[in-house]
């Protein structure tokens, strides 16, 4: 029994690592200079740059996962807020994608949005993880904007861009494997998973 509990604790620790890393790097990316000594925070507060606002989604994403780990689910108003934040962020990003220069800066964000929409839609078919769908939607919106900025400012990155890239990679893993987030946010779910017998095919 003790060995099983130790294994369960190890699996919980491993499962929570992506959320911990993402929370730290996502917030750091907001505060640190992205390019030209300008951070997303400065872009929001001083220069009012639309592409800076979607970086704030990392705060909402982290808050949503904390909320879910405490209460076990997100309320409907919270889910609605996530969808509204997603829609606004995507609108801000694509206003630049449409008017931007260079095919790469247009294609990559569009492909990212389409693939992200596919995974978000697929996640709605997973019963217990359905309430994570609006959070995954915010992560997709973050990825779309981040990909545009990373491509647009390639060669001029500063430390904030590196942290944003790490956050984006972590989001990619979470979007494609939402089941891990379900487990990482709920120790009871992890215990249930651990108690299931292994089926050999």
Question: Which pLDDT tens digits describe the chain residue by residue (201 residues)?
Answer: 555 445 544 554 455 556 666 668 888 999 999 999 999 999 998 876 889 999 999 999 988 888 887 887 788 899 999 999 999 999 999 988 776 667 777 899 999 999 999 999 888 776 556 778 899 999 999 999 999 999 989 999 999 999 999 999 989 988 887 665 554 444 444 444 444 444 444
200 within a domain of the structure (yes/no): no
Position 188 scores a pLDDT of 46
101 within a domain of the structure (yes/no): yes
Position 29 scores a pLDDT of 94
Position 201 scores a pLDDT of 45
Tokens of 150: 């990373």
201 within a domain of the structure (yes/no): no
Position 74 scores a pLDDT of 85
Half-sphere CA count of 181, side-chain side, radius 13 A = 30
Contacts 24+ apart (CB under 8 A), 68-74: 68/131, 68/132, 68/135, 68/185, 68/186, 69/185, 69/186, 72/186, 73/131, 74/131, 74/132, 74/134, 74/135
Position 9 scores a pLDDT of 44
41 within a domain of the structure (yes/no): yes
Position 31 scores a pLDDT of 94
Q: What is the pTM of this model?
A: 0.80
Position 12 scores a pLDDT of 47
CA 113 to chain CA centroid, nearest Å? 13
Domains in the chain: how many in total? 1
Position 14 scores a pLDDT of 52
19 within a domain of the structure (yes/no): yes
198 within a domain of the structure (yes/no): no
Question: Which residue segment(s) compose the domain that 153 sits in?
Answer: 2-193
Position 181 scores a pLDDT of 58
């Amino acid at each position: 029994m003790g060995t099983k509990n130790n294994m369960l604790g190890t699996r919980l620790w491993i499962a929570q690592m992506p959320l911990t890393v993402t929370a730290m790097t996502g917030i750091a990316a907001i505060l640190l200079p992205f390019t030209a000594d300008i951070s997303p925070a400065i872009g929001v507060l001083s220069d009012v740059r639309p592409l800076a606002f979607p970086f704030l989604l990392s705060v909402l994403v982290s808050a949503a996962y904390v909320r879910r780990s405490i209460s076990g689910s997100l309320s409907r108003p919270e889910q609605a807020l996530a969808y509204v934040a997603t829609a606004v962020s995507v609108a801000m990003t694509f206003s630049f994608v449409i008017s931007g220069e260079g095919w790469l800066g247009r294609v990559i964000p569009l492909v990212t949005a389409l693939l992200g929409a596919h995974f978000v839609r697929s996640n709605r078919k997973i019963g217990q993880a359905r309430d994570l769908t609006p959070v995954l939607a915010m992560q997709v919106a973050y990825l779309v904007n981040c990909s545009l900025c990373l491509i647009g400012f390639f060669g001029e990155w500063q430390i904030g861009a590196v942290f944003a890239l790490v956050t984006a990679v972590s989001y990619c893993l979470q979007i494609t494997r939402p089941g891990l987030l379900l487990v990482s946010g709920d120790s009871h779910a992890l215990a249930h998973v651990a108690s299931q017998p292994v089926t050999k095919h």
